[in-house]
């Protein structure tokens, strides 16, 4: 199995490291605008490979993507550099869209020409509208957005912390866009099968209070991380590589991930079956009236953002 990673900035490096440590593929190709940087990253990681899984990692050019099952795209201006770290800014990551769309219009055709059968996973922020830019740039490409898979993991972790349980046993999803308009599915959130609402009632706690606290922590987790470490990279690196594994291994796993939703006219996240062909099936969950309205609002937010950059 072969994975390509475009961009060796903070997130690209985190993806590369996660892929090697997890043994996600036998071959990993790193591509960067400055090839010397990709070469340095590949060399650095290569020195640790004898202690783990058998993986070949190397720098390359777009032509070296041939035969890749998945290509992770991390190129672009990040949140700190692009000025997207203000909690009071409703645009959030969408502030990066115009600059990163220009980068995507350049790199996507190169990727598709070299690896026409590869699934493209957009990791760059904002991933949902950039997935639409990629899809419109190369109509035959299979394009996914990393979407709200990371947000859902954050949701699970914060709920696990609140209830004092392993987050792996928390069922909770965030859908919609990977941004300020994301939708938390509180109505279906559970711990070991028990609804969150029932657990809170048993503990004499208020759902509104927990909701305000957790949504704030999850929605702005990236900014909190950037304030302490300059870049939010490791969580998304692990998550992106896990998606690549699902595709390469044809796992048929069900996760919230971004794909083009005809019903809404944009790429955004819904629970989806993931396998070799990308999204095999979308499973739209039962939602409360408030959650459904939130999802529609999320789609409108993304459509407006795309309208602003089309033709630029």
Within a 13 Å sphere around the CA of 172, how many CA atoms are in the beta-carbon half?
A: 31
Task: Determine contact, residues 183/295, Cβ cutoff 8 Å.
Answer: yes
DSSP string for residues in 250-293: T--EEEEEEEEETTTTEEEEEEEEEETTEEEEE-PPP--HHHHH
Active-site option among 56, 162, 178, 229:
178
Task: Determine contact, residues 121/95, Cβ cutoff 8 Å.
Answer: no
DSSP string for residues in 143-183: EEE-TTHHHHHHHHHHHHHHHTS-GGGEE--EEB-SSTT-E
229 is annotated as an active-site residue: no
Active-site annotation, residues: 178
């Amino acid at each position: 199995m072969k994975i390509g990673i475009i961009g060796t900035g903070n997130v690209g490096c985190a993806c590369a490291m996660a892929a090697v440590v997890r043994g996600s593929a036998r071959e990993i190709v790193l591509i960067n605008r400055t090839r010397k940087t990709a070469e340095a990253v590949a060399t650095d990681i290569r020195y640790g490979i004898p202690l783990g899984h058998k993986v070949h990692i190397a720098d390359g050019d777009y032509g070296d993507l041939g035969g890749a099952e998945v290509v992770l795209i991390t190129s672009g201006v990040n949140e700190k550099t692009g000025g997207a770290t203000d909690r009071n800014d409703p645009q959030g990551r969408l502030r990066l869209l115009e600059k990163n769309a220009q980068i995507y219009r350049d790199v996507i055709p190169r990727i598709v020409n070299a690896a026409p059968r590869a699934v493209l996973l957009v990791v760059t922020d904002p991933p949902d509208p950039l997935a639409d830019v990629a899809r419109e740039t190369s109509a035959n490409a299979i394009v996914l957005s990393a979407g709200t898979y990371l947000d859902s993991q954050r949701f699970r972790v914060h709920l696990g912390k609140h209830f004092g349980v392993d987050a792996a046993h928390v069922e909770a999803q965030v859908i919609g866009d990977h941004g300020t308009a994301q939708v938390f599915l509180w109505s279906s959130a559970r711990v070991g099968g028990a609804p969150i609402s029932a657990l809170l009632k048993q503990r004499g706690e208020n759902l509104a209070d927990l909701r305000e606290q957790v949504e704030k922590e999850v929605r702005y987790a990236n900014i909190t991380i950037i304030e302490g470490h300059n870049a939010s990279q490791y969580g998304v690196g692990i998550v992106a590589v896990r998606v690549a594994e699902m595709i390469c291994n044809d796992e048929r796993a069900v996760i919230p991930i971004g794909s083009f939703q005809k019903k809404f006219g944009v790429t955004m996240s819904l629970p989806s079956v993931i396998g070799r062909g990308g999204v095999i099936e979308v499973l739209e969950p039962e939602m409360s009236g408030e959650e459904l309205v939130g999802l529609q609002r999320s789609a409108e937010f993304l459509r407006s953002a795309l309208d602003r950059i089309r033709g630029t």
